[in-house]
Amino acid sequence: MALLQFTDRGIFCERAGVYLDPWKPVDKAIVSHGHSDHAHWGHKHYLCTQDAMPVIRHRLNLQDNIQTLAYGETLNINGVDFSFHPAGHIPGSAQIRVEHGGEVWVFSGDYKLQHDGISTPFEPVKCNVFITESTFGLPVYKWKPQQEVFDEINAWWRNNQQQGKTSVIAGYTLGKAQRILKNVDASIGRIFTHGAVDSINEVMRQQGFVLPEAPRVTDEFKKPDLQGALIVCPPSALGSPWMRRFLPYSLGVASGWMKLRGTRRRRGADRGFVLSDHADWDDLNLAIRETGASKVFVTHGYAEIFSQWLSSRAIEAYEVKTRFEGELGEIDESAKEEGQV
């Protein structure tokens, strides 16, 4: 029996009786991070990192059925050792390491190697078998250093301000929004947030993350307050009547998909900023090499193409069908969240 198996509920460790990021209700779920394609509703018991816990509890409305581990701490379940290791994807996100009888599997969850200034940086973990994501597993996806992207965002904001316009930037609510807040030059002007972003900010502030002041947009703020400001909102808010109060505004979208001119134009935004919380092509390859794994399973995105590529590089690799959706799913999830606010 393989240590981990791919089932129609999620990744399953039969020996320990636990699932990793299951998408159907199970008894025991170990969850890599709080995005809705990974942290599903309806499990009996949850295990996640200490840093991911507050958001997951908030989003899934959990009471005391959630347990945590610090990064690197080990939990033995029925002879199998489980531990979390930083994935660098969003604050609290983890790779899940599973060891039994000297055999080590690592499930990456979502990850990136680039430091974003807010998530605990990715740490490579040696293993025999690596289950990797491949959201951007095509050689056309290569990211610029984060600072260059924020230079672009800052310049765009300043320029809009000079023209008397508000700058509206869309990024998904958990992770991307906080990354923007943390790295943008807050001295340029005032920053406001959409309610969906603000409620996540609130949770994260309470657990000790420091973010610049960015109140929720409410009716108490009038045109002069908003003019020249930066508004951080989920992509689902684009085109909604909520946006009208910012007129005239320039619209930016921050996402890895903005790398392609086609997707950039399809979003109908004025500006696309190529800012992703997933590893780009070079980093996926680097990360896989560093694990030293002799076998790789590929999930998310371009799983078929990416596993074929790995095979051509003499790495035993297989495509796995999961319900993980990468950044597209993360964009959609903001839509659900908005409904709650």
Among the listed residues 220, 262, 314, 339, the single contact to other proteins using CB under 8 A: 262
For residue 139, the one-letter residue type is P
Size of the site for other proteins (CB under 8 A): 24
Which of Zn ion, other proteins, none interacts with 289 (beta carbon under 5 to 8 A by kind)?
Answer: none
In the complex with other proteins, the residue whose CB is nearer, 206 or 308, is 308
- For other proteins, the closer CB: 82 or 141: 141
How many whole angstroms separate alpha carbon 85 and alpha carbon 120? 9
Quote the CA–CA distance of 81 and 30 in Å, as a whole number: 12
Closest contact distance (angstroms) between CB of 242 and other proteins is 18
Nearer to other proteins, 105 or 324 (CB): 324
Residue 216 DSSP label: B
Choose one: 53-61, 74-82, 138-146, 179-187; the region binding other proteins (CB under 8 A).
138-146
Cβ nearer to other proteins, comparing 81 with 332: 332
Q: Does 110 participate in binding Zn ion (rule CB under 5 A)?
A: yes
Q: Phi and psi of 76, rounded to 5°? A: -95, 120
Q: What are the CA-CA distances from residue 37 to residues 4, 176, 180, 280, 323 (Å)?
A: 19, 16, 22, 20, 7
x/- map, 200-239, other proteins, by CB under 8 A: ----------------------------------------
List Cβ neighbours of 83 (8 Å cut-off, separation of 6 or more): 69, 72, 73, 74, 75, 96, 97
CA angle centred on 17, ends 14 and 19, rounded to 5°: 90
Q: Note whether 305 binds other proteins by CB under 8 A.
A: yes
Among 205, 265, 289, 336, the residue binding other proteins under the rule CB under 8 A is 265
Residue closer to Zn ion (CB basis): 47 or 168: 47
Name the CA radius of gyration of the chain, rounded: 20
Closest CA to 112 of 133, 89, 132: 89
Q: DSSP readout, 298-329?
A: EESTTHHHHHHHHHHTT-EEEE---S--HHHH
Per CB under 8 A, 260 contacts other proteins: yes
| 266 lies in the site for other proteins, by CB under 8 A | yes
Question: Phi first, then psi: what are they for 123, rounded to 5°?
Answer: -125, 125
CB-CB contact of 69 with 84 (8 Å): yes
For 22, 46, 249, the CA distances from 195, given in Å and listed in that order, are 28, 27, 19
Q: Which does 312 bind (CB under 5 to 8 A by kind): other proteins, Zn ion, none?
A: other proteins
Angle between helices 146-162 and 176-183 in degrees, nearest 10: 70
The residues in 25-44 that bind Zn ion, with binding defined as CB under 5 A, are: 35, 37
Q: Is 145 in the site for other proteins (CB under 8 A)?
A: no
Q: What are the tokens at 12?
A: 């399953």
Nearer CB in complex with other proteins: 98/284: 284
* Residue range at the interface with Zn ion (CB under 5 A); choices 21-29, 110-118, 208-216, 239-247: 110-118
Q: Interface residues with Zn ion (CB under 5 A)?
A: 35, 37, 110, 324
Q: Interface residues with other proteins (CB under 8 A)?
A: 138-142, 257, 259-266, 268-272, 302, 305, 308-309, 312
